[in-house]
Each structure stands twice: as structure tokens, then as C-alpha cells.
A and B are shown apart, each in its own frame.
Chain A
Amino acid sequence: MSLFLIAALPFLGAVFPALLIRAGRNAAASAAGLTTFLALMGLLIHIPSVMRGDVVSARFDWIPILGLNANFMLDGLGFLFALLILGIGLLIILYARFYLSREDPMGQFYTYLLLFQGAMVGIVLSDNVLLLLIFWELTSLSSFLLIGYWKHLPEGRQGARMALAVTGSGGLAMIAGMLILGNIVGSYDLSVILQNKELIQSSPHYLPALILILLGCFTKSAQFPFHFWLPHAMAAPTPVSAYLHSATMVKAGLFLMARMWPVLAGTDAWFYIVATTGLVTMLIGACIALFKDDLKALLAFSTVSHLGLVTMLLGFGTKFAAVAAVFHIINHATFKAALFMTAGIVDHETGTRDIKRLGGLRKLMPITFTIGTIAALSMAGLPPLNGFLSKEMMLEETVHTTWLNSPYLVPGLALLAALFSAAYSFRFVSHVFLGPQRSDYPAHPHDPPVGLWLAPAFLVVLVVLIGLYSAAIVGPLVTVVSSAVIGGEKLPYYSLKLWHGFTPALYMSVVATLGGLFLLALHRRGEQLWNALPRPEAKAIFDNVIGAFTVFSRWVTDGLHNGVISRYAIILIAFTLGLGYYAYSTGSLGAATREALPAPLIPFIGWICLVGATLAIMWFHRNRLLSLVLIGVVGLIVSMAFNYLSAPDLALTQISVEVVTMILLLLSLNFLPTDTPWDSSATRRWRDAAISVVAGLGTGALIYALMLRDFAFPTISEFHLANSYKGGGGTNVVNVILVDFRGFDTFGEIIVLGIAALIIFALTESVLGTNVRSYLLNRKPHWPQSGDSHPLMMVVVTRMMMPIALMVGAYIFFRGHNQPGGGFIAGLIVAIAYLMQYMASGYTWAIERQRFYYHGTIGWGVLIAAATGLGAWFNERPFLTSDFGYLHWPPLEEFEWATAMLFDTGVFLAVLGAVMLALDSLSRFAWQPGMAQEFPMDINPLRDNPPEEEQEKEQA
């Protein structure tokens, strides 16, 4: 199966659980399981080539300019992790089906889980660091959803936030690190980066890149001092903890360290940062785990400790340590996932995870006891289980490690950590299962149904088998993975077997086991001591830090955004003026190269009207109705100016927009106060006036200077003029630009227009749902209402006008490609034709006769435009390439057709729908009961039978 498909399957499959949950929980779980199973099978098909040491790859250039390519590769390392992710994922899906209760939304759970799975698979298969980063962030996001799955629990929400904050900020650091790395090498392809060890390590940017990348790895893999988020993430349901926090997500950091090992490891910086962090984490995690009473917290800190172990091994930078790290990753995933599931079973069946309230479950839950004990003993590192093997290898390697010239420091601390590790493992067994049976369990414990214990049992079988027959079962896998980690070089000698003879590691193991038993015996004393010690509380520190950030950002935000909009506007305008002044004072102004056009009398009269109206608006703006009339004057003069200055399309558009805007503003004024009171001080008005005058002078001077000079560079308009007819098949260049050359812009613009109309609709809906409606119904109008709301003359005239107006619309539309006109203008004209009916005959009358919804009109418009654009693809042309030709149908004159016409139809419909939806929404504010009349007029010219009064007269 192609690697694309393996990576994509979980994402595709994520849709199904959410949909199938209506068909029942089994259907949702099966869909998730089947998806994972298919992906797993797809992965397993590649076993032969992976085991040969080949690298399977799939490449697809996504955004090559950025170096972002969807390249995937599958080598031993990726294979191991993908196997863990998909294999354990399958077990978790089974386990979660029985674990989650009836109240939990299971469809959501599996959807989140598959999204997470897909992101993880993406990380481990990526062959491009940018792609890897995308998947990396996706795991942070999807794990946020999973950790916070129980939304009703505050701990869940807080834990999810903390995990997102820590891993997300680590991810940001890693993005920077990866970009530096890609910059050093000159490629973002992992396979290229991995070939350039010398180049990277000799670069002066090696250290910053290393630290930034490690920040990402350490936060993700919960290394000290970022380990604190992992225990808080345990508020998630247990299947999530078992999956994310034992097998997969926390291992992503380890994976990346292993992936980058060939190029980053081997330096002193790497050794001291990575190995020390790992060692400290291993020790601290093991120590805290011993004193945790919550089963899952114990396991969480133990996970922290084991992740530290692997980190330390990777940090050693030797090949043997890399083999041990790989082997321990496999072993830890098996026993820790089994332990988490066991903890979940105990919690599920007894009703508590508090070790202090448990004990003596051995007889009550024999199956769980067996599974839990074997897994815990493997974690303690007892033979013949798999944990023993990798721990031995770890101890063996520490003996050969010197840290700052001290040969005893690392083995000593590692031994101490192993000792604590044995102690908490024994505590897990003895304090939960051994001891006397109790009578005060919150529930009646018994073994769970097979669905719950099957998955951990399978893992425990693996634990035993890997321990006994390690060389046979995982030997080849370890070989392949290790050689992938160390970059294909020759592997050192190692053997996976239980008995290596009397080695230092063996003695250390014995000491650790006995010491662990001893510590357990002293646990009560130790606990008193532990509780008496002052310890920093990570959550409190985290909350304080976040709190400080919140206070700071609130201070900044409140300082800048105090809610005074005019202040924002002043800042914007003053800044723009400053920029303009800077440009003016530093630049130079050439001499005028164009001759000014003459200004005859009539344009001058227009100018007087416009300036007079504008000044009058300033003067009378407190009288709102009057200022509306005046602004209409300005709009009309502007459209006439467009027409005079050779822009007939603009004139047509402006004048029709003017009509609908005026109607809109008049309608809204109906509900707003009629006057604007004086509420700013004289100083403030003078200040505003000064700013406005300066802005006006600047703008006017700028455009005046611009108009008197020729273009500094040749314009692209020449191209449009030359190709409009040849390439677009139309003589109206403005229209051809709109529907052809820049069709994509127009496409975006009709979408924006549609969205604006939908916003207006949604606002109306939400406002009318509140007590505003009752206010509107009881409102007294500002002005006396007309006695005859639908005058006969107007009704008759508008109905007569309707077909004529529609025909004008059609005419404007069809001539658009060659003469001034087009979809925009036609849409506005047809909208006005409809609006006339609304105004003359009333909203209710018009709405009853409306056969289509405006939402649909907008939608069809956008769809038609999009379909026209897509049509070009079928002819193997880019989106929105238009085609045209000429037809001759006798007796008509030869005429031209163009696919742009179809696009223009989309524009027409979208504009029509948007304008109508906006005004229709506004009209709904005016609705009053009893407005519906069969006939808007007193006399209906269509009616056959005379009105009742006349009938009565006749009868009389």
C-alpha cells in the first residue's frame, strides 16, 4: 500500500466514527478498528523490503517553492514506530469500546483518536521536516482534544490546556530549530539532511538548532523540567493515557531524537544536554513515582522516568546505546500500555485508583492480577521478562560512560533510578493486589469482561515471549531499526539474551532488585519523610507563569484597545499621515509631465454641487434624514463624473449601488434616532477637524500630483487592451478583466459579498430572537405614517415597470461583454426591480409571491462561477481559463458566445441574492402583525368580483 494511503487512512477514517455513532457504539468502534487494521495491513505489506534494509518512499511536490513537499519514507525506525502506533492503536480501540461508559460520546472519541493516530503516523513517515512539523503540531492539537475529552471535568480541561501550552511552545521552538537546520543544509528533505553530518556539526548554527530542536523533543517527551504536564494529562480517560502517554505521543520526542541521531549526536553538546537531561529525568521520575498514591500518577511518573532512560541512552551517542534505546522503546511500549490498561481495569471495577484504598485484589481479580503482575515485574526489570533485557543493556552501557571525568557518577545514579524503578513496580503489585482482602472497596471488584482484558493480555504475552525468545522475535527488527537510527553504519556487536555471564550489569540488577524490595518494606517511613520535604508544586508554578502572562497581555491589550473606536481611527490616520509625510520629505517630486484637461462649465457645476453637498453634510450632519439626502447628491455627482471621465461601467455600477444604499440607509434610519446630539467637546471637534483637514489636503495633493504625471513604469493595461478581444473574446475591456483576466479576484469578491449578506441575515435572526422584537412591535414611528401605505398609482406603475426593468437588466447583462454592462450591474438593476415591488406593494405581499430563497441565489451564483472555472480543468487549462467562439443563427446577426458569460451569470446571481438578502433582512425589522393583506391596494385591478360594499349596494 502506498505510504500516502497509510498516512491518509486514519484521517479519512476519522469521519466514520462521528457519522456511524448513530448506528450504535459497535459500529463506531468497528469503523475505527477497521481503518486502523487496514492501515496496519498496508504497513505490514512493506515488511520484506524494510527487513532487507530498503527505504520505501513516496514523493509528491506540494509547495516546492517553500521546500514543503509531501514526501514520505519508510525505513526501519519509521516502521517500528508506525507498527507501535497502529498496533497498539488497534488494541486501544478494542479496549476503549468496553471502557467508555454509555454517557460518553464515543463517536467523538474515536474520531479524535484517529486524527491523533494519523498525525502520529504522519510524523514517523515524513521525509520532509516541514511536513513533519505540520504533523507534529497536529498531534499537539488532537491530543488536546483527547486529554480534554471529559469536558465536564475541570482537571481534564486544565490538563489539556497545560499539555497544549507546554508541547505547543516546544513545537514552536522546534519549528525554528528545523528551519535553521534546513537552512544549513539547503534542503528540508530529511533524507538529504541526514546525509550531511559534517556540514551540520561544523556550522556555527549547530548549537542553537540543536537546543531548539531538543526543546521540542523534551517538551513532547516530558523530560525534566518539562515533565510536569504528563501527570496532569492523566485526567484523560485511561485508553487515552495508555495510548498517548505510554506508546505514542510522548515517544514522538524520542523518535525525533533517534531520527536526528545520525546528524546531531556525537558532539559534547549533545552528550551533556541529552544524556544529563535523560539521567535527571529518569531519577526524578522514578523517585516521585514511588510516592504517588494515584495508580495513573504512579504510572505517569514511571513513564517520565523510562522516557528519561531512553533519552539518556540516545544521549550517550554510542552505537550500542542506540541499540539499547531502540530495544527499550519496544519493551516499554508493551509493558507500559498493558499496565495502563490494568490500572484502567482496576479503576473501572473497584471505583477507585487510590492505592491507599486498594489491596488484596489477587483473589477477586485473578486475571487482572496475572496481567498486571507480569507487566509490573517486567517494568521492575526482572528476568525472564523483556524489561530485564533492555535494563541490563542500559546498565552495561552506563558502566562505560564517564561524565566530566567521573566514571562512577552515571552508573551510580542509573543504579539508584533502577532501584526506585524496582521499588515502585513492586509497590504496584503488592499494594494493589497482594495483602489482605478489604471490605471497603467503593464497588464490588471482579474480573472485567474479556473485551477489557484481551488487549493487555496480548501485550503481556508479548512481554514474556520477547523476554524468552528475544533474538527470534524482535532480533531482526532491532537490527533494522538500530541501523536506521545510526544512519546505516555497521552495527556494534550485541546479543539479545537473558544470560550474559557475571557482568557488572548483573550485579547492578541484583542490587536494584534487592534494594527495591528493601525500599518497599520501608515505604511507610519513606512516605512520611517524603511528605515532610518541601517540594515545588509544578502546577502552581505553571499557573503563576500563565497568570503573569495573562496579566501582562491584558495590560497591553487594555492599554491599546480601550474600546474607544475613534481613538483607534485617530491612531491609524495619524500613522498613515506620518508615513505619507515621511515619504514626501525623503522622496523627490518630478516635474509635471501631463497636461491638465480643460475644465468646462458643466463639470464645474458638478464640482460645486459635490463640494456644496459635502460641506452641507458636515454642517447638517446632526439632522440624519437631511444628511442622507445630501449624500445621495454626492453619489449621483460621483457617478456622473465617472461617466464623463470615460468610465461608463463605473457610472452604471455607482448609480445602481447608490439606489440600493439609499434604500438601505433610509430603512435603517426608520429604527435609529433621527438626530445626532452634540456630545463631543469643542476642543475635540477642533482636534478632529484639524486631523481631517490635514488628511484631506494630503490625499488631494497626492492624487493631484499623481494625475499630472505619467506612469513611471509601463502599465500592464496595454496587455489587457491588446488581448481583450483576441484572448477574452470581448470588446468591453473592463468587463473582460472582471470575468476573464482577473476572474479569480471577482470569484473571491462575490464570495465576500455573499458572506456579507449571510452575516446580515444571521445578525437579523439573532437580534429578532431577543426582546428586541417586542420593542419593535410596540415602537412608535418617528414620523407620522402615510394614510395610504400602498398608493394605487405607485403599485400600478411599479408592476408595469417590473418586466421593463427586468428586460433592461437582461439587456445590460448580455451586452456586458462588448459594451458597458455585465453581471454586477445587471444584478443590481434586477435587485432594484424587485425592491420596487417591496416598496410599492409591501414586504408581506412581495414575500408571499417570492418563489426562491436569496440564500440559494447566492449559493447558485458562487457554484455556477466555480463550475465555470473548474470546466477549464477538463480542457487541461488553469482554473477560470475562458473559451469563446462565434455562432450564426439565421435570421439573427452573428453573435459571440463565451464561457465568461456563464461566469458572469454566477456574478449576476450572487450580487442579486446578496443585495436582496441584505434588504430583505432589514425589512423584517419593520414587520407588524396584521400587515398581511391579500390586496395591497384598496382596489385590485385583477379582481373579477367587485368589492363587498359594491355587492351589498347591488343587492340593496
Chain B
Amino acid sequence: MEALVASAVGIMTAAGIFLILRRRTFPVILGLSLLTYAVNVFLFATGRLALNAPAVLNKYEDVPYTDPLPQALVLTAIVISFGMTAVIVMISLSAYLSSRDDHIDMTAQDSVDAPGEDA
């Protein structure tokens, strides 16, 4: 089981990073999503894997529980990463609509056009 999870994390990380290194906005967003999955599963797995041991207390018998802390952290991470994905999507959408260009890199011309400071 551990091998499956670890290899999945590795493959998702590799794919995410490869896509993040592309030069258009949409692949970068996809890459970030993949990397988010990888990181979330990674964090979750730091609590070690357990089967049929959810961290819901059982009043009637003494049963093992999995580590709840990484789960709580990952839960908020999932929601926050949604917010961040949404922001990035909106930024790239606005940039594309304003310039009809979805390259993420600044061209040399862009740096020249950057507003200067006042006298």
C-alpha cells in the first residue's frame, strides 16, 4: 500500500512540476492542481497509513485511531488551495482577456513598458 501511495505522490509531483514549467497559463494551473494533490497526499501520509481506523472516537470499545492532526491540516489545505486556484485562474483569465496572450513570462518589451517612478 505504501509503495502505491508513494509512487502516486512521486508521479503526481513530477507531472505537476513539468506542467508548472510550461509557458502558458493553463498548463501551469493544471500543474499546480496536480502538485496540490501530491502535496496534500504527502502531508496526509506523514501521519502514516491506517485502514479502518478513522479518528472518530468509539464510546463502546477500545479501537485504534489514525493520526488526526495531519488530516485536520490537510482539510484546511484543500479548501485554501481551492481559493488559491480560483485566484490564479482569475488572474490568468484577466491577463488573457486584457492582452489576448496567455504566456506567463514577461517579454523584454514588458519590462521597458513598466511604469517608472516620478521625478
Contact = CB atoms under 8 A, between A and B. Distances in A.
Contacts of B20: 566, 569
A918 interface: yes
Interface in A711-731: 711, 715-717, 720-721, 724-725, 731
Interface in B44-72: 44-59, 65-69, 71-72
Contacts of B34: 614, 617, 631, 634
A148 to B, nearest CB: 12
Given A566-B105, A749-B76, A760-B86, A642 B44 contact: yes
Interface string A550-579: 000000001000111110011001000000
Q: Chain A's interface: helix, strand, loop or mixed, by majority? A: helix
Please indicate which of the listed interface residues A565, A614, A703, A710 has the most CB atoms of chain B within 10 Å of its own CB. Answer: A703
A733 B91 CA distance: 37
Contacts of A677: 24
Contacts of A931: none
A819 interface: yes
B65 A733 contact: yes
Contact of A696 (B11, B52, B69, B97): B11
B14 A692 contact: yes
Main secondary structure on B side of the interface with A = helix
Interface in A305-364: none
Given A558-B111, A607-B8, A703-B6, A734 B80 contact: no
Interface string B90-105: 1111101110001011
Contact of A699 (B19, B42, B68): B42
A46 interface: no
A565 B104 contact: yes
A720 B76 contact: no
A703 B45 contact: yes
B24 to A, nearest CB: 5
Q: Chain A: interface residue count, which band?
A: 35 or more
B90 A704 contact: no
A699 B15 contact: no
Interface in A654-697: 654, 657, 660-661, 664-665, 668-669, 671-673, 676-677, 679-680, 688-689, 691-693, 695-697
A911 B78 CA distance: 12
Contacts of A641: 5, 8, 41
B9 A700 contact: yes
A648 interface: yes
Interface string A897-911: 000000000000001
Contacts, number: 314
B83 A604 contact: no
A848 B2 CA distance: 51
Interface in A498-522: none
Interface string B1-23: 11111111111111111111111
A896 B60 CA distance: 18
Contact of B21 (A692, A696, A708, A921): A692
Given A661-B33, A707-B45, A565 B105 contact: yes
B104 A914 contact: no
A679 B26 CA distance: 14
A752 B71 CA distance: 19
A142 B50 CA distance: 59
B41 A721 contact: no
B51 A644 contact: yes
A720 B69 contact: yes
Chain B interface size, as a band, is: 35 or more
Interface stretch (A2-10, A31-39, A468-476, A590-598): A590-598
Contacts of A746: 76
A554 to B, nearest CB: 10
A564 B106 CA distance: 6
Centre residue among B6, B19, B29, B85 by max chain A CB count within 10 A: B6
Contact of A749 (B45, B80, B110): B80
B55 A732 contact: yes
A956 interface: no
A431 interface: no
A546 to B, nearest CB: 11
A689 B83 contact: no
Contacts of B22: 566, 621, 676, 680, 688
B14 A646 contact: no
Given A615-B11, A661-B33, A764-B90, A671 B1 contact: no
B60 to A, nearest CB: 11
A566 B21 contact: yes
A638 interface: yes
Contacts of A824: 75-76, 79
Interface stretch (A229-237, A767-775, A786-794, A935-943): A767-775
Contacts of B104: 565-566
A635 B26 CA distance: 17
A154 interface: yes
A653 interface: yes
Contact of B56 (A594, A757, A818, A922): A818
Contacts of B87: 756, 759-760
A627 B30 contact: yes
A688 B10 CA distance: 15
Contacts of A573: 17
Interface string B28-43: 1110011001101110
B72 A914 contact: no
A645 interface: yes
Contacts of A914: 83
A615 B15 contact: yes
A44 interface: no
12 contacts: A565-B28, A597-B49, A599-B1, A607-B4, A618-B19, A635-B37, A647-B54, A650-B75, A734-B55, A734-B68, A753-B80, A918-B83
Given A638-B41, A668-B92, 8 more contacts: A566-B105, A646-B50, A665-B89, A672-B96, A696-B10, A700-B6, A921-B90, A925-B93
Rank and list the top 4 A-B pairs by shortest CB-CB distance, nearest first: A700-B10, A563-B106, A696-B14, A704-B6
